[in-house]
């Protein structure tokens, strides 16, 4: 396998759905590094000169490089070079899809909720006192590569993790950069700036909403984000900040906002972006562009100087490459092009230790619970990549016939589209046909799997007769992941369900409920409840898997959707466990 020190996979800022800029780079013949603020501008000047001579330069500025442009911008002591660029004589074509060993990791620490609430309250007090309008507060999580566990090989871990992160967060402005001391794995959806032929485009990303559980709910979430006074205010504050920043290097009267409050669908969230453009002055350099814009206002707040002072007071350490700038400066016809992302959705790796930042903008009308949930939604990209997973369907094979096959395939195809897994139904059907030839008789539980490369596998296990009646127990706490994608879609990533595996003898499954106190499902199937004389099942918006058995019962009129709260359980007249494998099983709920 060929070794690469850098990869870029960038959207075209003017045509995001068009051809992508995808290049890889071997060992760099030269690197340009700044360790002190006074060295940052000269490094950027050298980068520009190299690109003007036909070279490609890939590199970063850490967030802590900010005082190189304005001494009033407060930062912590850096944990590495302030700026680092590799200079390449040529860019190589993106290679064919490579097979990488799995590269999972485990988190070692997370920001405690109490610490988050304390910082949130400090920011609210400062806003109320008129000190500022918005602060982008962040935290850093640390983790450990699974390959660092005894007996496992870490070779190729960084490229494998980058590939997993790209599958988890496709499109956008992805960069892999190996400096020798650390690897930067960024799958950022946010463009910091694109500068070419004197035209400077910035696209701040501010305003977030979670994706919906159904197409209708998803559309409603999109519309809600577009029309939210809070989210629009959050966005326009940064637009105004960037208009002011651009005016410092723009030709007179050239600053424009051609697009405002545009929403983009990412795998786990809807994000709001706006475009701010300008024509830069004839004598403007790359260092001047950074001096005017860095750090991006979307990761500081407004006004920038006071916001960064508060960030310095509240955040205990350096942000590093996270919230800095990461990108490429390259030769193009008539000059150079510089394209940098804002390194959010970014993991840095040193040996087996990794770090990942997460944050959100706090404004006067922000709510702590909502911001905390926003952090969880934004971290979904890392959870996708944290451990390899496959898409899963469990089917009943009865006397050579797969029950409800078309709807199972449709659900797996929908999951494949959501997670970006290739879907070749003919290959899946071929896999199932081979299984049917081996098991033409009897009752079997079929486990159909689809991996990230679109390869299907089917396994069959003897299916014992289902019990006539089962016992269920109520979960002792809410399932925090109720509204996450690993609940809405069926996969082999089931740690959130396994945490609720029954421990009492004779208990068949656990009844789950969300943070709002609403009943959702069991860990292996859906629920039916007889309440006020009718059979109901929890609504999808409560956070649950849309099971095939549940869908059949809804279609036949045996069930209707409803919201059932935990405190309503004493009124429930009867219960049933429902899934496509075992059908409808009467159930009793153990007293709590």
Q: Give pLDDT, residue 151.
A: 41
Report the C-alpha gap between 83 and 326 in whole angstroms.
10
* Helices 286-293 and 229-247: angle between axes, nearest 10 degrees: 140
Q: Is the pLDDT of residue 103 over 50?
A: yes
pLDDT at 181: 93
Segment 22-71, tens digit of pLDDT: 999 999 999 999 999 999 999 999 999 999 999 999 999 999 999 999 99
Provide mean pLDDT across the span 62-90: 97
Residue 309, helix vs strand vs coil: helix
Provide the pLDDT for residue 92.
Answer: 94
Helix, strand, coil shares, percent, the chain, to 5: 30, 35, 35
Counting Cα atoms < 13 Å in the Cβ hemisphere of 176 gives 23
The pLDDT of residue 414 is above 60: yes
Question: Regarding the domain with residue range 6-98+106-386, which homologous superfamily does it belong to in the CATH classification?
Answer: Anthranilate synthase (3.60.120.10)
Quote the pLDDT of residue 453. 87
More confident residue, 69 or 147: 69
- Out of 64, 97, 131, 190, the active site residue is 190
Q: At 160, is the pLDDT very low, low, confident or very high (cuts 50, 70, 90)? A: confident
What is the residue-averaged pLDDT of the chain?
93
Confidence band, pLDDT 50/70/90 cuts, at residue 97 = low
Average pLDDT on 352-369 reads 94
Catalytic member of 64, 182, 206, 304:
206
Residue 435 gets the label, from left (phi > 0), alpha (psi -120 to 50) or beta, of: alpha
> Residue 149 has what pLDDT?
43
> Is a pLDDT exceeding 60 seen at residue 321?
yes
Q: Reply yes or no on whether the pLDDT at 563 is more than 70.
A: yes
Q: Does 102 have pLDDT greater than 60?
A: no
Quick one: fold of 391-462? D-amino Acid Aminotransferase; Chain A, domain 1 (3.30.470)
Task: Tell me if residue 52 is catalytic.
Answer: no
What is the predicted pLDDT for the residue at 3?
Answer: 73
Please give the pLDDT value at position 2.
Answer: 56
Res 294: pLDDT? 98
Residue 211 is predicted with a pLDDT of: 86
Specify whether 480 is catalytic: no
CATH H-level, domain 469-589: superfamily: D-amino Acid Aminotransferase, subunit A, domain 2 (3.20.10.10)
Quick one: average pLDDT of 286-310? 97
- Rounded to whole angstroms, how far apart are CA atoms 270 and 445? 37
Q: CB–CB of 83/45 below 8 Å?
A: no
Q: Which two tokens stand for residue 445?
A: 């539980």
Spatial separation of the C-alpha atoms in residues 414 and 410, rounded to whole Å: 6
What's the pLDDT score for residue 430? 97
Its pTM stands at 0.86
Dist CA 246 CA 265 (whole Å): 27
> What are the residue boundaries of the structural domains of the chain, listed by start?
6-98+106-386, 391-462, 469-589
Nearest Cα neighbor of 188 from 281, 355, 325 is 325
Give the burial string for 409-438 (b: 16+ CB within 10 Å, else e). bebbbbbbeebebebeeeebeebbeebbee
The pLDDT value given to residue 242: 96
Q: Is 1 a residue whose pLDDT tops 50? A: no
């Amino acid at each position: 396998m060929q070794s690469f020190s850098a990869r870029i996979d960038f959207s075209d800022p003017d045509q995001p759905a068009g051809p992508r800029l995808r290049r890889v780079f071997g060992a760099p013949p030269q690197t340009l590094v700044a360790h002190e603020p006074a060295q940052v501008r000269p490094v950027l000047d050298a980068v520009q000169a190299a690109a003007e001579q036909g070279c490609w330069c890939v590199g970063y500025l850490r967030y802590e490089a900010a005082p190189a442009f304005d001494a009033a911008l407060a930062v912590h002591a850096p944990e590495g070079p302030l700026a680092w660029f590799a200079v390449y004589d040529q860019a190589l074509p993106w290679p064919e899809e490579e097979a990488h060993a799995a590269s999972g990791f485990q988190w070692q620490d997370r920001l405690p909720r109490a610490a988050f609430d304390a910082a949130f309250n400090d920011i609210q007090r400062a806003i109320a006192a008129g000190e500022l309008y918005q602060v982008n507060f962040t935290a850093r999580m640390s983790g450990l590569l699974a390959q660092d566990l005894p007996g496992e090989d870490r070779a190729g871990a960084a490229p494998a993790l980058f590939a997993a992160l790209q599958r988890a967060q496709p499109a956008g402005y992805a960069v892999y950069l190996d400096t020798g001391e650390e690897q930067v794995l960024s799958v950022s959806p946010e463009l910091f700036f694109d500068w070419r032929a004197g035209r400077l485009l910035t696209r701040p990303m501010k305003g977030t909403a979670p994706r919906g559980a159904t197409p209708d709910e998803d559309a409603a979430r999109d519309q809600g984000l577009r029309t939210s006074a809070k989210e629009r205010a959050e966005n326009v504050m940064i637009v105004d900040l960037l208009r002011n920043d651009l005016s410092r290097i723009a030709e007179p009267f050239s600053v424009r906002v051609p697009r405002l409050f545009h929403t983009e669908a990412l795998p786990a969230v809807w994000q709001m972006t706006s475009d701010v453009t300008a024509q830069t002055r004839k004598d403007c350099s790359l260092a001047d562009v950074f001096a005017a814009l860095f750090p991006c206002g979307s990761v500081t707040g407004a006004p920038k100087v006071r916001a960064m002072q508060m960030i310095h007071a509240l955040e205990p350490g350096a942000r590093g490459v996270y919230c800095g700038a990461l990108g490429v400066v390259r030769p193009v016809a008539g000059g150079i092009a510089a394209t940098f992302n804002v390194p959010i959705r970014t993991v840095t790796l040193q040996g087996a230790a990794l770090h990942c930042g997460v944050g959100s903008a706090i404004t006067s009308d922000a709510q702590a619970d909502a911001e905390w949930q926003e952090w969880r939604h934004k971290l979904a990209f890392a959870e996708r990549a944290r451990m390899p997973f496959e898409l899963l369907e469990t089917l009943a094979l009865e006397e050579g016939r797969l029950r409800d096959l078309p709807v199972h395939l449709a659900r797996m195809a929908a999951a494949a589209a959501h997670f970006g897994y290739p879907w070749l139904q003919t290959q899946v059907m071929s896999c199932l046909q081979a299984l049917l030839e081996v098991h033409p008789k009897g009752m079997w539980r079929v486990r159909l799997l689809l991996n990230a490369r679109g390869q299907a596998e089917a396994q069959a296990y003897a299916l014992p007769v289902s019990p006539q009646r089962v016992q269920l127990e109520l979960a002792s706490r809410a399932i925090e992941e109720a509204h996450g994608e690993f609940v809405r879609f069926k996969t082999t990533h089931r740690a959130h369900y396994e945490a609720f595996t029954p421990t009492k003898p004779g208990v068949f499954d656990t009844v789950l409920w969300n943070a709002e106190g609403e009943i959702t499902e069991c860990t292996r199937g859906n629920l039916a409840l007889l309440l006020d004389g009718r059979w109901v099942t929890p609504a999808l918006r409560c956070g649950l898997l849309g099971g095939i058995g549940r869908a059949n019962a809804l279609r036949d009129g045996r069930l209707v959707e409803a919201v059932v709260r935990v405190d309503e359980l004493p009124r429930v007249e009867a219960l049933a466990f429902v899934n496509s494998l075992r059908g409808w099983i009467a159930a009793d709920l153990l007293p709590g």
